[in-house]
Structure 1
Amino acid sequence: MIKDLDEKIISWARWRDLHKKGTVEGQAIKTAEEVAELIIGLSKNDKDKIIDSIGDVYVTLVVGNLIQGKADFERAFNRAEIDSKNTVGHYGAPDKAEQIINLMMATKEVLILGYTTHTISFLLMVIMIVAGENQLNLKNCVESAYEEIKGRKGRIIDGTFVKESDLIDKD
């Protein structure tokens, strides 16, 4: 169940003090960075990058909600599931350009409004659609992202977690 992964991601973030030292602004920028990676993956038809980026975007949403603490993540997720099915059912599958535009619009809302039930739901809906259009399972993408980060070490700089390998590159 994806809720189990949410709890693991929250534990990972708490262990690294993101809930105390992270900022909404820093996390929103992290979300935007991961969405940019997803857009690059889509534009290059790079399935591995798409899988990685979908999972990473999801992780940033869970952590962003933990930091801001205003949204009902479960409600946002459930609404996104319904909206993604209704959107594709009503309008048809969005092409790659529409997927990219929708990712940018949803990210803009996170950057402006932070992590609200609405903004989380909107971006979740978009990544659910992207996953579906690329024959991917969202839970598998999130599991893959969690497996990659679970042992990751680093520091919080300007309200954002920076992984150890990126710190070494900057020294």
Structure 2
Amino acid sequence: MNAPNLQETVDKVRTWAIYRGLDEADPFKQMLKLMEEVGEIAAALARGDMDEAKDGIGDVQVVLTILSMQIGTSIEACSGIAYNEIKDRKGKMVNGVFVKEADL
């Protein structure tokens, strides 16, 4: 199965959200939805259910796409900001977690 193009999927999510008025809804409520979805990922991982974890990751992407719209930006812009912050980051793995150099 070929993975769908991420940009096409994000664009479809935007259209879906606009059609339903979610782009103008309360970002604080969208943040609550994000925490709900993250909790579902954690529960799926705890059960070893990778299909549900994948679904949860996709749900988080949808929620973040909508949240970014609600605050007047885009998921692409936010991803670019985050990548520029980490692209040259150095650090090391500690107990299976990457710790940035400044925190070592």
The TM-score range, normalised by the shorter chain, is 0.7 to 0.9
Higher relative contact order (CA 8 A, sep 6+): 1
State the distance in 2 between where 1:23 and 1:72 align. Answer: 16
Q: 2:67 pairs with 58, 64, 67, which one?
A: 64
The count of residues paired between Structure 1 and Structure 2 equals 93
Identity of matched residues, %: 27
More helix by share: 1
State the distance in 1 between where 2:82 and 2:95 align. Answer: 16
Instruction: State the partner residue of 2:101.
Output: none
| Superposed structure 1 runs of 4+ greater than 6 Å apart | none
Asked whether the equivalents of residues 65 and 74 of structure 2 are also in contact (C-alpha less than 8 Å), the reply is no
Distance change in 2, residues 1:93/1:78 (3 Å): farther
Larger radius of gyration: 2
Distance change in 2, residues 1:78/1:68 (3 Å): closer
1:74 counterpart letter in structure 2:
E
Gaps of 5+ in 1: 100-171
Gaps of 5+ in 2: 99-104
Distance change in 2, residues 1:9/1:72 (3 Å): closer
State the distance in 2 between where 1:93 and 1:42 align. Answer: 21
RMSD: 2.6
TM-score of the pair, normalised by structure 2: 0.72
